Structure 1
């Protein structure tokens, strides 16, 4: 166990986050997301919800300049509680809302997809890594 590291940040996830470069993206996918189809690299964390995992990731990953966060838009453009939680987990980053298929397209280019156990629909987030300043 490491001190100062959120226990949700398991070793393989930390290794992938570390390997990411500036503007590389990580997708946190809910349980409904076609993660195996779109992912180049896939981790599965079925006991974790996306907002909690995103909050943990944001403790070690600086966010890129806009757009730092993409969320999957609902058909009627209503923001859901899980999406509010995802925004809060980033410290309030203004999200870019993408329709479902545009989100899938963005996800295909992501460095990593993490499929969570989040069962709430539209509980998906794509975040981009910013510059790490020493």
Structure 2
């Protein structure tokens, strides 16, 4: 165990999150997502797992150490419900609450069509599979930077 590190963050996940650079993207997905095959196409090249946790809980763990990108308009995306792009299922509402809490502000998810999500996931740095059993528990997060206190800030943040 480490102090102040969420116990869901295993060594492999911590390694990948630390290795990511500004602008790299990670996928947090549900149990229905083709995680293993998609993960093989990513930069990291293998599937990471946070088993035994639903997607919102995994998001809380990841965002406890991962800054979101403040230099882009949409650093957090959700997979759209097929045929109902404006529908936001409970798992996505719960995930939204975790993002807002981590950021200390409202940061609405942008939606992305299912097949566009799959393609974007293949271009990501890594994929983290969760134990989420509800559908549409799939998200993209773009890593930001940790700036020194005297560094210039992005006006969007």
* TM-score normalised by structure 2 residue count: 0.81
User: 5+ unaligned residues in a row in structure 2: which ranges?
Assistant: 101-105, 149-157
1:80 aligns with 2:89: yes
Stretches of structure 1 lacking an aligned partner (at least 5 in a row) = none
Residue in structure 2 matched with residue 63 of structure 1 by the alignment: 68
Q: Distance in 2 between matches of 1:59 and 1:133?
A: 16
TM superposition outliers: structure 1 runs of 4+ over 2 Å: none
Measured in 2, the distance between the counterparts of 1:55 and 1:121 equals 19
Displacement after TM superposition at 1:44 (Å): 2.2
Q: Paired residues, what number?
A: 134
How do 1:2-81 residues align onto structure 2 when only pairs under 5 Å count? 2-39=2-39, 40=42, 41-65=46-70, 66-75=73-82, 76-77=84-85, 78-81=87-90
CA RMSD of superposed structures (Å):
1.1
- Pick the structure with greater CA Rg: 2
Give the TM-score normalised by the residue count of structure 1: 0.95
